[in-house]
Amino acid sequence: MRRFITSLLALLLFLPFQVFAQSGAFQIHSHNDYLQTVPFWTAYAAGASSIEVDLILKDGQLMAAHEVESIDPKRTIESLYLDPIAEGVKTGLVSTAQFHLLVDLKTEAYSTLEILLKSMENYRELLFSQANPNGLKLIISGNRPKPSDYASYPEWMFFDYQSKELNKDLPWSKIGMVSLSFRQFSFWNGKGRMVEAERENVQNFIDLAHSYDRPVRFWGSPDSKSAWKAFYEMGEDYINTDHPMDAADYLGKLGENVYENNVKHEIYHPLFEGDGKEVPVKNVILMIGDGNGFAQISSALFSNGNQLNLTQLKNIGLVKTQAADDFTTDSAAGATAYATGHKTNNRAIGVDPEGNALENLPDILDGFGFSSGIVTTDQLTGATPASFYAHHPERDDEKQIAAYLPKSKLDLFVGGGGDTFTSELDKLEQAGYSLVDELENWKGEKIGYFASPTSLPKMLDGRGDYLRKSTEAALSFLDGKGVPFFLMVEAANIDSGGHENSTGMIVTETLDFDEVIGSVLEFADEHPGTLVLITADHETGGVSLPQGDIESNTVELAFHSDDHTGILVPIFAYGAHSGDFRGVYENTEVFQKIMKLVERYHMR
């Protein structure tokens, strides 16, 4: 049995969430812990600070049970708690008792405590004392002695006070916790938001108990993520739950999942003078927010004073993103669909499922007299930008992908990953590219700008307004050539935020993308005949938005996955023929719709 317990504890301690690093950010009460499949160890591995066991005195033994009918002779306070704790201390797996046992007496207090005191004699070395301040404390709940008798019990034994009437005359030195039924304050079921008047009553009682420097717990409280968060925010000291692992996982990630935006950007209000008009399309700007789904857009919206440049637009469609060989696409297959109009296998760039090269938009549009460019926050060999110039079945073969850039019909490229192109520099110059090192005064027929030798930093790491400045410079350069143009702009790191389940990264990267959208919309207003398309290759993270606060620009995101999902992604359109992009359709249709307009107004 000891070997089983030790092995089990070792397994539990290496679960992926480590809540012991919380440093008291939250504390969990494992309610009716003895009903867990693995009592004590589950709560301990979850970092629970308070662990509850119901006790019934039966035939001189303290049985862990709620009622006599459920008694199992093998389930005693010793077998479920005291022996495992002692074994843990002996093996070093339990270093200190950063938890207490809340012992809920179901039988008469004095007689039950008499037996409990005798039982604890066998575990004296575990127990709290002035000489052992990290020892185990017991807090007696349920049937208790009179408060006037509390002082007669040992220093390791404290009591659970259960009354709304708190005053300075109570024996506070022996009161370890103040507990009340949540139903004395509210009938909230843990869904949505608590009625404000009831919430204030709960908050007032917590504040009252804290004024006497004692922790608070509510039993019979709702047991859900919304409830855990609400009680945490109100300062409940021991959050009551039957699901300690889930509660620890959720609360432990709350700091990462909640983000408050302190830097709002100004919104450009489009003129809509040419929006949706069936006039010749001169320029096409395709903006791809990698991994950018509905929740990502919503998180940015509510973090920016409830407004975005993106959400000013009126023509909106929905895009199906499936790959040729998989329900859930990756960026390579997703971007290839936009660039070539063909479904392909995941990991493939610019080739069909059989590996045959596909013509991409820059190649095709060159025949119609267009110039083309790509701008990205990714490395230029990344799946999305590479799909607009390369033809290779494996997205991770960076050197082979880089070799396609000098052969492409691109007139402009801007992005990271310059080191990968070291062997291609001479070929790029021979192909007519002027390789520049700044975002202004671009001169030449073709421009290449390696913004970083490797990956560019994230917004949280100080990338700044690189994407906006790069896009504005690209628009100025392409417009200055005096011919129609195609420009692909990628915000790559929204996807990274989804993969890392980072709310802060998602919000800041999506807001950065939206600032660029504002600049592009302004350009479109100043250059009639420009069509702007804003979409995503796929959604990343299975993100939802359970809570937020518009007034403080705060959102909480929840994550179903750390990978891509098959959720529909929106496409927003502005400018000439923007109404053509309404509806629900495959990602390949974006290419087809663009080409239909090009063929209508331009000659080869």
- Name the band, by pLDDT with cuts 50, 70 and 90, for residue 441: confident
Q: How far apart are CA 584 and CA 510, in angstroms?
A: 23
Range 88-115 average pLDDT? 94
What tokens were used for 58?
Answer: 């039966």
Q: How far apart are CA 380 and CA 405, in angstroms?
A: 9
pLDDT digits (tens, 9 = 90+) for 243-275: 999 999 999 999 999 999 999 999 999 999 999
Give the three-class secondary structure for 382: coil
Buried b (16+ CB within 10 A) or exposed e, 457-488: ebbeeebebbbbbbbbbbbebbbeeeebbbbb
Q: Is the pLDDT of residue 101 over 50?
A: yes
Give the three-class secondary structure for 324: coil
- 460 alpha-carbon distance from chain centroid: 15
Q: Rounded mean pLDDT of the chain?
A: 95
What domains appear along the chain, each with residue ranges and CATH number? Answer: 2-13+25-253 (3.20.20.190), 278-486+496-508+523-601 (3.40.720.10)
Asked if residues 297 and 570 have their Cβ atoms less than 8 Å apart, the reply is yes
Asked if residues 214 and 206 have their Cβ atoms less than 8 Å apart, the reply is no
Q: Is the pLDDT of residue 477 over 70?
A: yes
How many residues does the structure list for the chain?
A: 604
Provide the pLDDT for residue 18: 31
- Residues of the chain with pLDDT > 70: what percent? 96
Range 281-310 average pLDDT? 98
**Angle between helices 503-526 and 244-257 in degrees, nearest 10:** 40
Other Cβ atoms within 10 Å of 367 Cβ, number: 13
Asked if residues 376 and 492 have their Cβ atoms less than 8 Å apart, the reply is yes
Asked if residues 410 and 370 have their Cβ atoms less than 8 Å apart, the reply is no
Q: 């070539």: which residue's tokens?
A: 340
DSSP state at residue 444 = S
Q: Which three-class secondary structure string do you get for 542-573?
A: CEEEEEEECCCCEEEEEECCCCEECCCEEEEE
For residue 344, which amino acid is it? T
Q: How far apart are CA 253 and CA 270, in angstroms?
A: 39
- Name the band, by pLDDT with cuts 50, 70 and 90, for residue 95: confident
Provide the pLDDT for residue 96: 79
Q: What are phi and psi of 396, to 5 degrees?
A: -85, -5
Asked if residues 149 and 158 have their Cβ atoms less than 8 Å apart, the reply is no
Asked if residues 35 and 53 have their Cβ atoms less than 8 Å apart, the reply is no
pLDDT digits (tens, 9 = 90+) for 364-423: 999 999 999 999 999 999 999 999 999 999 999 999 999 999 999 999 999 999 999 999
pLDDT digits (tens, 9 = 90+) for 537-572: 999 999 999 999 999 999 999 999 999 999 999 999
Give the three-class secondary structure for 194: coil
Torsion of CA 536, 539, 541, 543, to 10 degrees: 100
DSSP state at residue 200 = H
Q: Pairing state of beta strands 569-575 and 530-535? A: antiparallel
Q: How far apart are CA 355 and CA 393, in angstroms?
A: 6
Range 67-74 average pLDDT? 93
Asked if residues 604 and 367 have their Cβ atoms less than 8 Å apart, the reply is yes
Helix (H) or strand (E) holding 470: helix 466-480
Q: Is the pLDDT of residue 490 over 50?
A: yes
Q: Is 299 exposed, middle or buried (0-12, 13-18, 19+ CB in 10 A)?
A: buried
Range 275-293 average pLDDT? 98
What tokens were used for 76?
Answer: 């005693």
Q: Pairing state of beta strands 569-575 and 315-320? A: antiparallel
Range 90-96 average pLDDT? 88
Asked if residues 589 and 337 have their Cβ atoms less than 8 Å apart, the reply is no
Asked if residues 389 and 361 have their Cβ atoms less than 8 Å apart, the reply is no
Q: Is the pLDDT of residue 301 over 60?
A: yes
Instruction: Kindly give, in sequence order, each residue whose CB lies less than 8 Å from that of residue 168, ignoring residues fewer than 6 positions away.
Output: 212
**Angle between helices 2-13 and 83-91 in degrees, nearest 10:** 70
Provide the pLDDT for residue 97: 82
Query: In this predicted model, which residue has the larger pLDDT, 286 or 439?
Result: 286
Q: Is 571 exposed, middle or buried (0-12, 13-18, 19+ CB in 10 A)?
A: buried
Task: Give rounded-to-5 percent helix, strand, coil for the chain.
Answer: 40, 20, 40
DSSP state at residue 392 = B
Give the three-class secondary structure for 128: coil
Q: Is the pLDDT of residue 10 over 50?
A: no
Q: What are phi and psi of 127, to 5 degrees?
A: -85, 150
Q: Is the pLDDT of residue 24 over 60?
A: no
- Name the band, by pLDDT with cuts 50, 70 and 90, for residue 476: very high
Q: Is the pLDDT of residue 7 over 50?
A: no
Provide the pLDDT for residue 440: 87
Q: Is the pLDDT of residue 20 over 50?
A: no
What tokens were used for 256?
Answer: 């990462």
Ramachandran area for residue 501 (φ above 0: left; ψ -120 to 50: alpha; else beta) = left
Helix (H) or strand (E) holding 418: none
User: Which pTM value belongs to this model?
Assistant: 0.90
Q: How far apart are CA 537 and CA 590, in angstroms?
A: 11
Asked if residues 311 and 517 have their Cβ atoms less than 8 Å apart, the reply is no
- Name the band, by pLDDT with cuts 50, 70 and 90, for residue 121: very high
Closest C-alpha to 562, from 583, 581, 542, 578: 542
Task: Tell me the longest C-alpha to C-alpha distance in the chain.
Answer: 98
Give the three-class secondary structure for 602: coil
Provide the pLDDT for residue 44: 96
Least confident of 91-100, 361-370, 460-469: 91-100
